[in-house]
Structures are given as C-alpha cells and as structure tokens.
Amino acid sequence: MMTRISFILLSVAALTACGEKAQTLGTKNDATAYSGAANSFVAPGWTAGDKNSWEQHLRARGQYGQNDNSRAP
Amino acid sequence: MARMKFICDAERCIECNGCVTACKNEHEVPWGVNRRRVVTLNDGVPGEKSISVACMHCSDAPCMAVCPVNCFYKTDEGVVLHDKDICIGCGYCSYACPFGAPQFPSQGTFGVRGKMDKCTFCAGGPETNGSQAEFEKYGRNRLAEGKLPACAEMCSTKALLAGDGDMVADIFRNRVVKRNKGAEVWGWGTAYGSKQAGQAPAKVEGVKK
C-alpha cells in the first residue's frame, strides 16, 4: 500500500513540470511591416496586408523622393 | 524585395544635421540619446567629408551575436530590431557595434544604464504596429505606414538614401557613374559584406579626367 502511494506521489511530482510554461528567452512575435499600422498616419496608395502592394509603394516612394537624377532635365 | 539598407553619400553630405533632427523629432528621442549623428572627417580643412551614421542593420549583425539575453531579432526586410522588455542594458552590443549605434539613456540613478535604444529603420518594435505602446518604446513605425525612414526622406541633398537595397544601390550606382569615380561608399562593406566597397576607385580605361 505504502509503495503504491509513494509511487503515485512520485509520479505526480515528476509530471508537474509537464504543466509548466516554457521560460525560453526570445522576442515576442512582431507583425510584418506590410500588415499596416493602427493609426491615422498610414500613407495612401497601398493595401495593408498585401505585401506586393506595400513593396511597390515603397519602391515608388523611394525612387520619387530619393532619385533626383531621374528628375533632372 | 531585397533587404532594407542605408547608404550615406559622403560626396553630397553637407553636415546640416537635418537627418539627426528629423530622427529626434519623429521618435521623440530623449536628450543624450542620438540614434543618428553626423561625423565629419578633417573638419575645417578643405575637402572635409561628412557622413551620417546610425545602425546599418547589418547582414550579420554583431550586436545580435553578443547579446546575452537574445533580445535582438531581424525582420523579413532585414531590419535589426530589439525587444526592450528583454534588454538588460548590459552594453555588450555597444562594444560589438562597429558604428556606435547602441545608445543608453543616462537619466535616473547615477551610473545606472537604461535599456538600449537604437535606430529602428523607422520600423518600431515588437508591440502592435503603430500603437502608442510601440511609439513610447521605439518611436514611430513608418515602414508599417508605407513610408521610408524620416532621416533619408528629410535629407536635403539626398546624401542619405534608405530603402530596398537594390533600389538605393541603383540610385548610388548612377551617381558614381556620372561622377566617374569608384564605388567607395562608407560603411557598406562593414555592414553588408561587400568586397567592392572600401576599395580604391578602379581606373576606367579610355576615360579622360
């Protein structure tokens, strides 16, 4: 009887770790940039959540805003 | 899309510090913390060169390698970000970074180093994109707003270029060809491992100077 009780107690003690949450280091999941921002400053001209649309928008914005050689006469 | 990169064109930078001001204003960075700064070589001497320096979001970031609590992560676009909830302010990243990018706020108790702060490529942090919590910890998330980093967009001479690596490299390549000079570009080789950058300009045959 004592053996059985001690076996059960030991099993319970051994299995308690199974219910614990992992304590691994690491960052929280970050949302992708193309999923958009939760504010009213989002630039128009692209669709939030559409990666291709976001990329094309940034590419066009970069070319227009930074490539002055393409605009010079 | 390739990955997000910075290029500072030392031939164009006029040391106006517009990029520094834009960054501080956009993210409401506190006193003593400079995510971006302008470094001038041979200041006051004719031919002086200035370069705008911040985190270059390295391909193989040394800060990520040395962080003892693994608080850094890299986004799909190659932007190196960190989680301030995990950072312990040890300063290892500051020693590892070849650009002096990691900054530590010095307010509060004497000798206590706060959480590390650095350029985020205007991509915020792990909090919800565009949220107040993200703004307070990391500043604005302009990438999620469909914009490029404020420093580059504000640069009056377009010396500082930011965006998709292919695009900024293309813009810079055009300038280099027009100037008839080599592809020397400060920090590019250190950050992105290009063997060409940092080399002496190659002589182009058949071109008169």
First to last CA, chain A: 97
d(CA B175, CA B195): 20
B111 neighbors B125 (Cβ within 8 angstroms):
no
Q: What digits encode the pLDDT tens for the residues B168-185? A: 999 998 888 888 776 667
d(CA B8, CA A72): 21
| ipTM of model | 0.84
Task: Determine, yes or no, domain membership for B197.
Answer: no
pTM value is 0.83
Task: Determine, yes or no, domain membership for B146.
Answer: yes
Which residues have a Cβ under 8 Å from the Cβ of A52 and sit 6 or more positions away? none
Q: Nearest residue on chain B to A38, judged by CA atoms?
A: B130
Is the Cβ pair B86, A62 closer than 8 Å? no
Give the CATH number for residue B71. 3.30.70.20
Task: Determine, yes or no, domain membership for B95.
Answer: yes
Give residue for tokens 């002055």.
A68
Domain containing B52 equals 4-192
d(CA A14, CA B13): 65
Nearest Cα neighbor of B125 from B199, B75, B195, B54 is B75
B200 or B20, greater pLDDT: B20
Is the Cβ pair B130, A58 closer than 8 Å? no
Is the Cβ pair A30, B147 closer than 8 Å? no
Q: How confident is the model at residue B22 (pLDDT cuts 50, 70, 90)?
A: very high
Nearest Cα neighbor of B124 from A62, A47, A39, A26 is A39
Task: Determine, yes or no, domain membership for B27.
Answer: yes
Is the Cβ pair B128, A66 closer than 8 Å? no
> Tokens for B89?
């302010």
Nearest Cα neighbor of B129 from A47, A34, A53 is A34
Q: What digits encode the pLDDT tens for the residues A34-54? A: 999 988 999 999 999 999 999
Q: Which of B69, B75, B76 sits opposite A25 (nearest CB)?
A: B69
Q: What digits encode the pLDDT tens for the residues B99-140? A: 999 999 877 666 667 899 999 999 999 999 999 999 999 999
Lowest average pLDDT, out of A12-16, A51-55, B163-167, goes to A12-16
d(CA B163, CA B165): 6
B75 neighbors A30 (Cβ within 8 angstroms):
yes
Task: Determine, yes or no, domain membership for B84.
Answer: yes
* E strands present in B144-199: 160-164
pLDDT of residue B52: 95
Task: Determine, yes or no, domain membership for B56.
Answer: yes
DSSP class of residue B123 equals: B
Nearest Cα neighbor of B200 from B178, B181, B174, B175 is B181
- Please report, as a single letter, which amino acid is at residue B117: D
pLDDT of residue B205: 57
Q: What's the total number of domains in chain B? A: 1
Task: Determine, yes or no, domain membership for B208.
Answer: no
Task: Determine, yes or no, domain membership for B177.
Answer: yes
Which residue numbers of B have CB closer than 8 Å to A's CBs?
Answer: 1, 69-73, 75-77, 81-83, 85-86, 123, 125-126, 128-131, 140-141, 143-148, 152-153, 158, 161-164, 167-168, 171, 174-175, 178
